[in-house]
A and B are shown apart, each in its own frame.
Chain A
Amino acid sequence: MRMSARTLSTAVFGVALLMFSTACGPKKIKDPAPPPVQPTGNTGRIGEPTAPTTPGARITTFTAEPRTIERGQSATLRWAIANATDMTIDQNLGAVTATGSRQVFPSQTTTYTLTAVGPTGQDARSVTVEVATGPPPPPPDGNRGARLNGTEVLTREAQDVYFDYDKAEFRDDARQALAHNAEVLKRIFAADPRFNVVIEGHCDERGSAEYNLGLGDRRASAAKEYLVQLGVPADRLTTISYGKERPQCTDADEACYQKNRRAHLGPGR
């Protein structure tokens, strides 16, 4: 179906009107807080000289988001600097441009100091990213009965999900197994709010160990995605790839290979 010139121009006009109204609307209702005083001239982008009429480097913002992270997670440093020729962040981050951001992965609580040097003055600011130590261990399990029950139900009722060679896509039998498993999981999770499940991805021994780790990872995460779509809560499922490291059987024939190409549900802890 083709759009006539007239409908097109009407649409363009409509979009322009919408943009205009949204751009102007809020201003009329309430004035925003005034921006921090900006020196005139440019803001010292790379390669451009700083305006000589406004000496004195100034750091307008320097933030870390989030301020507190877990080990292995990242925080983002953001900054804006005016009138500086030389801008560096310590902790080996080195020279930076006037405005920017950088992802950092500190392994312990770290203070980052941004130093900006201009023609006649300098400025420095610091932010600290707190790295939280691991969470405390969970309280002793007061409800072992229910937990054991979940494991039993899972072992008895959950079905392995089988795959074709070098594939992480589901066949019809795999979809049926997943639909069945979704119901089993919902039942277990409803009965025991602390029960978690690990989805293991496995491969047959023919591919390389390296690639199979990636393939098992894919099989496990595809199974997780499918279960979540069927209403299983994502936060109760974790995935792990065993590649070809934990075969069900070790014969070199297709019957055995098929047993090993699977996603398996096991109790989490």
Chain B
Amino acid sequence: MKTKLIAFISCIGAFAVGALLLGQQQTDISSTISKKGGLPAIAVPDFRGAGEAQALMNGFNATVWDELQNSGRLKMVAKTFYPLDVPQQPADFKPPTVAPPLKRGDPQRTVRNGPWLTDWAGPPVSSNYLAFGYTAVQDGRLVLAGWLFNVAQPDVTSAQVLGRRYFGSLDADGAKKVAREFAADILQQFGGISLSGTKIYFVSDRTGTKEIWSMDYDGSNQKAFTNYKSTTSMPAVSADGKMLAFSTYLKRPGENLALPQVVVHSTETGRRIQFYNPVAPTNATPEFTPDGKHILFASSLGEIPMQIFMADTNGGNLQRISHVNAIEVSPKVNPKSGNEIVFISSAAGTEQLWRMNINGVDRERLTPGDGYVANPAWSPDGTKVAFCWTRGFAPGNYNIFIMDVVSKELVQLTHGAGRNENPTWAPDGVHLVFCSRRSGTDQIYTMLTDGSNVQRLTTTGNNTQPVWAKAIN
């Protein structure tokens, strides 16, 4: 009896240690990839508003903080370390003065006269930068005065990196707008490409049928883009953000059966742009070439397994690119070179990530062959491909990986937290948007390309297949 109990306890003990080790391993991986040691540190004390503007400041402060934190370009210094004496404008800074010692033989005293740069540069804040300012109401509008200071500088004049006024409507939207513009100006100082104005297109079933929806990059402003009342999915956006292609079940003229067809719309007018599909049972997974002049897609024209085809944006000059007896879908063109495609093929058994030239030659398998691979997406600089893969998990349990296409080096970004699919890159090259079932339903999330800073953007219905579109100039 006793021995049994001991065996039982030791068994639990071993299990606990195992679980601990597993947990440990997970933290190790994430801590090595999310090391922020090299990033500049920034302090962002809460801004205050004069009069009516104060009511909007909670939203304002949260937006500035989130934008800077989610950029992946700055280390945010926690607010608990900040001094109580917070400047609101450059004139508030008062350099300390030197006074004679109180007692003979003592060193000279430094007398504090108000907020100073060293309050932020020294411990415990130890920041490199300080963003500060205030808001007020002027002519019925919200005005933000915002500054960015390099607090390592010896005086106020040389410390100023940025100082600007921003205007918005006197409501929550206006507060959010000026907050984003201020944050974008700060991020520009650190090489950040602003995501302001970029859009995420995705598939949502919240109205009962799958339609294409759009939202701002932070999940706000969600609205339906299509109303086909069919099954509409697999969106792709042109490099300039002006054209959207997707696949939907449509009836051809004179036919009664709605088959999967590639459809193109203008994102500016919302109108459909005519694209003549080949007469095939299935046409799907469209993709634009970087010059916006051609569309690649997968088609079973001629009752073959789906193969990669290319056509003009009206469907003319159709060319077959791949010629194998296996299903090939999801062609994605290198956005930099424009002459290289990654795609999914089952030519070597299960579906794997492959590459080839845009003329169909120099085929090469990029993933080693285990598991199932789906949804490749190029980084904006054309050096890496994000995709999802069931490696190490049962079929269907996808995780997101990034591969350097030259060195074939892999980084795994998600680790079994639900089903993670459809990664695509933000125009800034440091964010990914993807779809995950970690909450029980399919929802859209963003994260940094090291897997950190996961933010959920959608909540209603099931939301999948996001693509990130550049802001239209």
Query: How many Å from the CB of A37 to the closest CB on chain B?
Result: 34
**A214 B298 Cβ-Cβ under 8 A:** yes
**B234 A166 Cβ-Cβ under 8 A:** no
**A218 B372 Cβ-Cβ under 8 A:** no
Interface presence of A134 (CB below 8 A): yes
Partner pick for A72 among B252, B282, B344, CB 8 A cutoff: B252
Contacts of A214 in B (CB 8 A): 282, 284, 298, 300, 305-306, 327-329
Interface presence of B127 (CB below 8 A): no
Contacts of A241 in B (CB 8 A): 260, 281-282
Contacts of A205 in B (CB 8 A): 396
A-facing residues in B136-157 (Cβ within 8 Å): none
Contacts of B305 in A (CB 8 A): 214, 217-218
Whole-angstrom distance between the alpha carbons of A217 and B274 in the complex?
A: 24
Interface presence of A78 (CB below 8 A): no
Interface presence of A189 (CB below 8 A): no
Segment touching A, from B63-71, B76-84, B177-185, B314-322: B314-322
- Scoring A residues 131 to 151 as 1 if CB is less than 8 Å from chain B, else 0, what string do you get? 001110100000000000000
Contacts of A104 in B (CB 8 A): 316-317
Interface presence of A157 (CB below 8 A): no
Partner pick for B327 among A218, A220, A224, A269, CB 8 A cutoff: A218
Partner pick for A134 among B253, B260, B277, CB 8 A cutoff: B253
Partner pick for A210 among B254, B315, B344, B398, CB 8 A cutoff: B344
Interface presence of A215 (CB below 8 A): yes
Contacts of A103 in B (CB 8 A): 318
**B375 A210 Cβ-Cβ under 8 A:** yes
**Which has the most chain B C-beta neighbours within 10 Å: A137, A166, A198, A208?**
A208
**Which has the most chain A C-beta neighbours within 10 Å: B252, B257, B318, B465?**
B257
Query: How many Å from the CB of B365 to the closest CB on chain A?
Result: 15
Interface presence of B214 (CB below 8 A): no
Whole-angstrom distance between the alpha carbons of A132 and B164 in the complex?
A: 63
Interface presence of A74 (CB below 8 A): yes
Interface presence of A173 (CB below 8 A): no
Interface presence of B108 (CB below 8 A): no
Whole-angstrom distance between the alpha carbons of A215 and B284 in the complex?
A: 12
Partner pick for A213 among B260, B311, B372, CB 8 A cutoff: B260
A-facing residues in B114-147 (Cβ within 8 Å): none
Contacts of B260 in A (CB 8 A): 213, 240-241
**B318 A221 Cβ-Cβ under 8 A:** no
Interface presence of B449 (CB below 8 A): no
Whole-angstrom distance between the alpha carbons of A74 and B309 in the complex?
A: 15
Query: How many Å from the CB of A28 to the closest CB on chain B?
Result: 42
Interface presence of A209 (CB below 8 A): yes
- Scoring B residues 85 to 105 as 1 if CB is less than 8 Å from chain A, else 0, what string do you get? 000000000000000000000
**B281 A210 Cβ-Cβ under 8 A:** no
Q: A215-B327, A245-B231 are in contact. List 9 more A-B contacts (CB 8 A).
A: A72-B279, A104-B317, A135-B254, A166-B346, A166-B395, A209-B464, A209-B465, A213-B285, A214-B327
Whole-angstrom distance between the alpha carbons of A103 and B301 in the complex?
A: 15
Interface presence of B350 (CB below 8 A): yes
Whole-angstrom distance between the alpha carbons of A134 and B314 in the complex?
A: 19
- Scoring A residues 111 to 144 as 1 if CB is less than 8 Å from chain B, else 0, what string do you get? 0000000000000000000000111010000000
Given the contacts A210-B329, A213-B329, A217-B300, A105 and B396 also touching, CB distance less than 8 Å:
no
Whole-angstrom distance between the alpha carbons of A80 and B306 in the complex?
A: 35
A-facing residues in B333-363 (Cβ within 8 Å): 344, 346, 350-351
Given the contacts A208-B375, A211-B327, A269-B256, A72 and B277 also touching, CB distance less than 8 Å:
yes
**A72 B276 Cβ-Cβ under 8 A:** yes
Can you pick out 10 interface pairs between chain A and chain B where the beta carbons lie within 8 Å of each other? A72-B315, A107-B276, A207-B351, A208-B375, A209-B464, A221-B281, A221-B303, A239-B303, A241-B260, A245-B231
Partner pick for B281 among A71, A74, A217, CB 8 A cutoff: A217
A-facing residues in B207-232 (Cβ within 8 Å): 210, 231
How many interface residues does B have (CB within 8 Å)?
50
B-facing residues in A56-74 (Cβ within 8 Å): 70-74
Contacts of A213 in B (CB 8 A): 247, 260, 282, 284-285, 306, 329
B-facing residues in A201-254 (Cβ within 8 Å): 205-211, 213-215, 217-218, 220-221, 224, 238-242, 245
Contacts of A137 in B (CB 8 A): 254
Given the contacts A107-B316, A218-B327, A210 and B276 also touching, CB distance less than 8 Å:
no
Whole-angstrom distance between the alpha carbons of A239 and B280 in the complex?
A: 10
**B259 A211 Cβ-Cβ under 8 A:** no
Query: How many Å from the CB of B29 to the closest CB on chain A?
Result: 25
**A165 B234 Cβ-Cβ under 8 A:** no
Whole-angstrom distance between the alpha carbons of A269 and B433 in the complex?
A: 41
Whole-angstrom distance between the alpha carbons of A84 and B282 in the complex?
A: 43
Interface presence of B233 (CB below 8 A): yes
**A208 B421 Cβ-Cβ under 8 A:** yes
Interface presence of B374 (CB below 8 A): yes
Given the contacts A72-B277, A104-B316, A217-B282, A211 and B374 also touching, CB distance less than 8 Å:
yes
Partner pick for B306 among A106, A217, A242, A269, CB 8 A cutoff: A217
Contacts of B327 in A (CB 8 A): 211, 214-215, 217-218
Whole-angstrom distance between the alpha carbons of A213 and B254 in the complex?
A: 24
Whole-angstrom distance between the alpha carbons of A220 and B259 in the complex?
A: 13
**A207 B317 Cβ-Cβ under 8 A:** no
Query: How many Å from the CB of A218 to the closest CB on chain B?
Result: 6
**B388 A208 Cβ-Cβ under 8 A:** yes
Query: How many Å from the CB of B22 to the closest CB on chain A?
Result: 24
**A105 B421 Cβ-Cβ under 8 A:** no
